[in-house]
Amino acid sequence: HEAGLSLASLDTMKLEITSNNPDLMFTYSDSENGNSTEKKNNLDLTYSFNENKVINIKVFPTSNSYSNIDMDINIKVTKNDKETFEMLKRIHIDEITSTCIKKGYNNLSDCLLITEQMSASNVNEAKEAIKAKGEVTLSQTSEQANENGMYKTVDNDGDTYFYRGDVKNNNVKFAGFYWKIIRINGDGSIRLIYNGDHANAVNLETSITGKEEQYNDKFSDPAYFGYMYGDNFSKQPEKTLETDYVAITANTEYYFADSYTTNDDERTFKLSGNMIKSTVANWTSTASDKKYTCRDTNENASCNFLIEVIRVNNPTSIQAYYWTYGSTSYEATRENTASSKAKIELENWYTNTLSKKNEFGNNVINYISNNATFCNDRSLALQGNIGDGYKLVPRTNYGSRYRLIDNKKSSLVCPDVEQDLFSAKGSEGKGNKKLENPIGLITADEISFAGGLWNKNNSTFYLYSGRETLTMSPDTFNPDWACANLLILNSDGSLVTNGLYFQSYSLRAVINLKSDVLVKNGNGTMEDPYTVKLAS
């Protein structure tokens, strides 16, 4: 018969599961009624059918006294009290250390909520108790505010529950690596940040490559803030506005020339004509005809932007104009056609390392959400040095700086879903669907909620590793250095701004586990981290 067709009579199906071992307990879930978390020595389930349909039933055996042993259970199915199928099934009982499993909460996100509020009788009660804790104090570090544990805010998908402060029970061992849980996302997926290939990793052990990495290997244009960006640059027909340029070493001799050439294919400038080699301090009005420099010690060097000297301010500062190749609009910087160096490194690691791993007989990519998103917020500041988002001069401040530095008001809602909320190709959720693989970086806002604060040390919150850590949050484009500056987690646990040309960063991958992933074991401590298994 086809599914859904009416039956001639009412059919009653009975499922009985029994064991001779009094310490063996059962919980179950079915596709009609959901989860039953009450533990019973025997299951006696009855279902009535007046049409052809299928009910899927999952049974979860646990033992309070035994572990890592095999046991026999009896399975009996009866139809209309007449037709009977019966079998003896041998099952294996693992050692169960997980408190939430013992309480009947196998789903990882439910487990995290119940573990946070052990007195709650169900998940909804746990959520209400977490909500009742109120908003965190974002004007202080988690240590200053004495805020630890799980709190609630919102993201683009709804309510999100995040960890803050000196948390000890948000550790996961997955795919052979250790991870910290950042939060339960609004769509129910669980966000993890890489924490090394062994317990208690520190410094560069928390980088997926084990060494220092750059966010991007280019820095002299606002486009380079992008996890992906638009790089359809063209030579700008006019020099920029006047600005200071301070990326100068006092005793270094640089080349200055009276003319230059351009290379449209490589989008570079090169000094030509008459040249001198001089420190900035010794560049005088007698050499003012030699006003172009790449700020380089090699006379044949090419540069991405050219400096036209107006005057020397002091031994480490030039009053200058810039000539550059760049974007023609703010929108063009966010066309997301080119990949940052960080994205390339992360996606290569996902393809060549992470996706090759297995977890309890299943490929790990089956555990990872393809719908979760990553916010590379390139919105412009609402006040202050707003700039235009694409020219080198004047200064441009971005939304993350406005929130985290100027106002201490973090947000996990990404303002521009179409351009800045990155998601994987084939995603069924929100986002721009630009990523080859569902992997990204933490945001400065997530660090703020976790306990970090601008220019304030904090070595006690769970993201502290003793090493500078990359985020994907733009801070400001600084014309004084002609450089894009990101917000990063500093080695002392503070949020700071650093230029993309610095390289001493830990590249900590961020992934998201699917919302239906189950706890296999563990209590989330570093000594007993959560392990996970697929729901089916």
Burial 366-402 (b: 16+ CB within 10 A, else e): ebbbbbbbbbbbbbbbeeebebebbbbbebbbbbbbb
pLDDT tens digits for range 358-385: 999 999 999 999 999 999 999 999 987 7
- Core vs surface per residue 234-253: b (16+ CB within 10 A) or e: eebeeebeebebbbbeeeee
Helix 123-132 × helix 108-116 angle, to 10° = 50
| Residues in the chain, pLDDT under 50 | 1-2
Q: How far apart are CA 141 and CA 408, in angstroms?
A: 11
| pLDDT at residue 1, rounded to an integer | 38
State how far the Cα of 510 lies from the Cα of 377, in Å rounded to an integer. 16
Backbone CA torsion sign across 111, 112, 113, 117: positive
- Hey, what's the torsion of the CAs at 32, 35, 39, 42, to 10 degrees? 20
CA nearest neighbour of 500 among 521, 474, 464, 519: 474
Cα 28 from Cα 39, distance rounded (Å): 9
Which pLDDT belongs to residue 340?
97
Residue 58 vs residues 3, 85, 103, 135, 492: alpha-carbon distances, Å: 21, 18, 17, 39, 48
| Terminal-residue alpha carbon distance, the chain | 27
Token readout for 85 is 């199928």
pLDDT of residue 431: 96
Q: Phi, psi (5° rounding) for residue 467?
A: -140, 150
Tell me how crowded residue 81 is: count the other CB atoms within 10 A of its CB: 8
Instruction: Give the pLDDT of residue 452.
Output: 98
The pLDDT tens digits of the residues spanning 481-522 come to: 999 999 999 999 999 999 998 778 999 999 999 999 999 999
pLDDT given for residue 386 in this prediction: 86
pTM (two decimals) = 0.83
Position 515 scores a pLDDT of 97
